[in-house]
Each structure stands twice: as C-alpha cells, then as structure tokens.
C-alpha cells in the first residue's frame, strides 16, 4: 500500500468523520464554486505543462490558460471527443503521474471502443468519500442509521475487488461497514431469493437492471420475498416505466447514481429523487449543442464533464456521449448542487435464456476481453434463442481465438443460445451517438416480454 495514499485517505476520513465534507452539498453556491474554481486552475496548470494533448494546443494558440480562471470559462477550451481518449489515451496522461500507484480502468466500449483511464490515489479517495456521503441518503430513506443490512448484486470484477480492498486498508476500516451479502448477476433466482430472505436487507444495491429484474420476477411469480426499503442502482440506469413498477407494484424506492469510468462519480439522486445532484466541487458539468456551443439552463444537449481531482488521465471538457439538461433551481432536500436530468437512460438490458437464466453484458464481455486486439463488442438478440455478437478488433484481422468465442459464449448460457459471430461488422448506435452494448429485437416474446411491458 502506497504510504501517501494511506495518509491522504486517513486525513479525508477524519474530515468526513468530523462532518466537514458531509456539509459541502449544503454550502452556499459561491463557496462551492470557489472550491471548484481553485481545483480547476490547478488542473489547468498540470494540463498546460505536463499533458501533451493540451500542451500542444496551447503551443499552437488554439487555447489560452490565462482564460481559464474558473468553471464558467470552460467554454473557451476545446471539447475532448471520446475517440481522442480511445485512440491516443497516452496523450491525455500527465507526465508527472506515478502510474505505478494509479489504478487503470477500462470502459465498457459504449461509445464504440474501450478507453483506458488512469486514476491517481487522491482522486480515488475523493471517489470513496463521495460514496460515503451518499450513504446519508440511504440512512434517511431506510431509517437504518445503525446496523444497516445490505445485499449487492454485481458483475464480478477483479479491479473493483482490488479497489474495495485498497479503500478498506487505506481508511483503516473493515472491507464492509454494513451487515450483508454479495451475489453475482448470474446467480440463480432461487439463490438470490434465499440470500435476500435470510439477510432481510434494508437496501439492495448493484447493477440496477439485475436488481430490478429479480424483484419484478419475484412479484410476477408471486414468490414470498423480503422487500427492501430501497434499491440503490450503482452501475447503470433503468427505464422510468421499470422504476415506476418497482415503486408502485413492489413498494420499493429506487435511487440511482450517475458515474462513468472516465469521470468516476458524477452525480447522485437525493431523498427527493428528482434528477442527479452533480458533485460540483469534484466534477464540472456543462451542456452544449451539437456545435459545442453552451446551452442555456434547462435546454437539452450533450453532457460535457471535467474531472477536477484526477491528475493522472486529465479530462477537461470530456464528451460523455450522453444527453441531458441542467438546472440550478433549489431542491427540496436543501442541497445546493446543480441537478442534471438525462435524456437517454443509461440502461443496458439484461440478457436471458429461454429457461430465464439472467446474464449481464459484462459477463459475456469477460469471455472475450483478453483476446489479442479486442476493442469492443455489441450483442444483438435476434430471437429468444439466437444472439448475434459483433466484435471489433484493432487490426481488423481474424485471429485463431475468434473461432472459440461463439462456443465459449454458448457454454456459459448452458447451450440454450445459438451464437452467430460477426467480426468487424459496423455497430448500431443510439440517437445520441452511443454504441448500444445490447439490442433486443424480440422484446415482444418471452422471456423478454416483461421488459417491454415495463
């Protein structure tokens, strides 16, 4: 464990325990803006001196560091398109960064290709702190301030496990501060039912689609299942109709987070649940039109994000590939952070077999991700028992490992699915320009019928 990481973590933990950081969302807007502006100026100096992508543009006179005094001046700097991070990620990494003590994340490829992002130790701690602050919303909605019981339904990921242990070691706390359990997305329905009925959690967290799928299936089966007070979606969104069914039919509140590999935590839903509160002191969000021009408050456009605290991969004005609108109107919860509403739900449909085995895109991705030259994957469900899997490789050539992919995926589905492999076939995109990881063509047929009704 890096000593600087540990020392920083414990200082931040002391500040959280002293309720200092917990008050930030309630600060006056001017105080929040001053903190964000100070961090942005420091980040801009690093970018100008040590990050080739920005340094070269400054040298060519395409932008000027003196013009970036605060977040209101971000419009004067260029927008970083997703393909800049995908094609030349090293040009966005600070030459000062100690990569040996950073964590490297890979995106899922939802904008057309996987992107590599290095996150430094201080940014990781900020991320952990804001995760801790979000628990106050959970405590208030569940009424379980002490001895909170939780169950997480996740896609197993070695990086996340390593990161969780790093946080625990650095903060000097047990790995899990709550009483609860953990399930994989592909765990059988009966196993999930047994664990949830045994633990009786106040909150079930994890991949939103998988959590929602379990409780709606339990409702439709008439199963005797413990219903938590709250579902906390931490990986992706769910459709408004699906959320309405969970809250109205199942009596379970739903709150979601907005995050990405490129920017980590961006926003969260409060007790009120209307829009995402942006973590303004660690993340600046702008809305622009298709020409990159700033849009007035309330108008819908492209979501542009600046991570103010990551000094490894430096992303100033990064295009998230999402569309949304911002508002500074007061929220009944009392927090002063701006709120963001996304136009397109960040939702990846769950994959199913005819016998209702549930799989997440990430689980299929793990079967192919280590292949030489792999870049991105899209799954198109043409019928309940036939998937078309599109895979892109960096050199557009056919490797021997390609021949094994279809068989490997079919085995993980219990040989219930016929897989048709398409190498380097163009992907399909959403109206907002995001490559859709999963497309369901047969939403009017079982076992996908319930999804279309939601």
Confidence band (pLDDT; 50, 70, 90) for 175?
very low
- Do both 342 and 399 map to the same domain? no
Range of the domain at 232: 1-347
Per-residue pLDDT tens digits for 355-383: 888 888 888 888 887 777 787 889 999 99
Confidence band (pLDDT; 50, 70, 90) for 63?
confident
- Do both 272 and 372 map to the same domain? no
Show the tokens assigned to 437. 């990881």
- Do both 256 and 360 map to the same domain? no
pLDDT at site 394 = 77
pLDDT at site 239 = 81
- Do both 355 and 341 map to the same domain? no
What total of structural domains would you count in the chain? 2
Residue where a domain terminates, one of 293, 315, 347: 347
Entry pTM: 0.84
H-helix or E-strand containing 258?
strand 253-260
- Do both 297 and 357 map to the same domain? no
Residue where a domain terminates, one of 347, 369, 386: 347
Least confident of 56-60, 143-147, 371-375: 371-375
H-helix or E-strand containing 391?
strand 386-393
pLDDT at site 270 = 94
Determine contact, residues 373/430, Cβ cutoff 8 Å.
no
- Do both 342 and 355 map to the same domain? no
Confidence band (pLDDT; 50, 70, 90) for 18?
very low
Which is nearest to 262 in space by CA: 63, 363, 394, 123? 123
The CATH number of the domain holding residue 419 is 3.30.300.30
- Do both 173 and 223 map to the same domain? yes
Distance in angstroms (rounded) separating the CA atoms of residues 262 and 320:
8
- Per-residue pLDDT at 98 exceeds 90: yes
Q: What is the DSSP letter of 8?
A: H
Residue where a domain terminates, one of 332, 347, 362: 347
Determine contact, residues 149/202, Cβ cutoff 8 Å.
yes
Q: How far is CA 379 from CA 347, 374, 376, 421, 449, in A?
A: 14, 15, 10, 10, 18
Confidence band (pLDDT; 50, 70, 90) for 65?
confident
- Do both 62 and 182 map to the same domain? yes
- Residue of 27 and 67 predicted with greater confidence: 27
- Do both 316 and 426 map to the same domain? no
- Do both 294 and 410 map to the same domain? no
- Per-position b or e across 337-373, b if 16+ CB within 10 A of its CB: bbbbebeebbbbbbbbbeeebbbbbbbbbebbeebee
- Do both 358 and 306 map to the same domain? no
The CATH number of the domain holding residue 256 is 3.40.50.12780
In sequence order, the 6+-apart residues with CB closer than 8 A to the CB of 370 are none
pLDDT at site 361 = 87
- Do both 240 and 340 map to the same domain? yes
Distance in angstroms (rounded) separating the CA atoms of residues 6 and 341:
36
């Amino acid at each position: 464990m890096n000593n600087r990481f540990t020392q920083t973590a414990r200082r931040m933990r002391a500040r959280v325990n002293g309720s200092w950081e917990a008050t930030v969302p309630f600060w006056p807007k001017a105080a929040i803006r001053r903190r964000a502006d100070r961090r942005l100026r420091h980040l801009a100096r690093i970018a100008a001196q040590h990050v080739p992508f920005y340094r070269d543009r400054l040298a060519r006179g395409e932008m000027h560091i003196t013009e970036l005094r605060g977040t209101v001046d971000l419009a004067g700097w260029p927008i970083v398109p997703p393909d800049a991070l995908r094609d030349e990620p090293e040009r966005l990494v600070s030459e000062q960064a100690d990569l040996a003590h950073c964590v490297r994340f890979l995106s899922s490829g939802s904008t057309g290709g996987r992107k590599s992002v290095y996150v430094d130790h201080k940014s990781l701690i900020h991320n952990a702190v804001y995760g801790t602050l979000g628990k106050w919303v959970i405590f208030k909605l569940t009424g379980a301030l002490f001895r909170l019981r939780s169950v997480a339904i996740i896609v197993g990921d070695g990086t996340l496990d390593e990161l969780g242990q790093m946080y625990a070691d650095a903060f000097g706390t047990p790995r899990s501060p709550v009483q609860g359990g953990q399930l994989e997305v592909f765990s059988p329905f009966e196993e999930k039912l047994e664990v949830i009925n045994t633990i009786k959690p106040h909150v079930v967290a994890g991949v939103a689609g998988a959590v929602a799928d379990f409780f709606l299936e339990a409702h439709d089966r008439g199963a005797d299942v413990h219903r938590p007070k709250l579902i906390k979606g931490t990986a992706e969104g769910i459709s408004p109709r699906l959320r309405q069914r969970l809250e109205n039919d199942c009596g379970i509140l739903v709150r979601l987070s907005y995050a990405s590999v490129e920017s980590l935590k961006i926003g969260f839903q409060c007790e009120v649940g209307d829009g995402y509160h942006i973590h303004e002191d660690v993340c600046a969000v702008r809305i622009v039109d298709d020409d990159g021009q700033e849009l007035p408050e309330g108008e819908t456009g492209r979501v542009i994000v600046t991570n103010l605290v990551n000094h490894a991969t430096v992303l100033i004005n990064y295009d998230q590939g999402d569309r949304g609108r911002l508002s500074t109107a007061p929220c009944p919860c009392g927090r002063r952070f701006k709120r963001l509403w996304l136009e397109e739900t960040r939702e990846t449909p769950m994959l199913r077999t005819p016998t209702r085995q549930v799989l997440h895109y990430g689980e299929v991705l793990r079967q192919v991700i280590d292949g030489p030259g792999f870049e991105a994957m899209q799954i198109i469900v043409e019928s309940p028992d036939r998937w078309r899997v599109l895979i892109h490789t960096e050199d557009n050539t056919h490797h021997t490992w390609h021949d094994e992919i279809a068989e490997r995926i079919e085995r993980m589905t219990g040989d219930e699915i016929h897989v048709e492999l398409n190498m380097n076939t163009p992907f399909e995109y959403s109206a907002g320009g995001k490559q859709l990881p999963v497309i369901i063509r047969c939403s009017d047929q079982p076992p996908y019928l319930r999804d279309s009704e939601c």
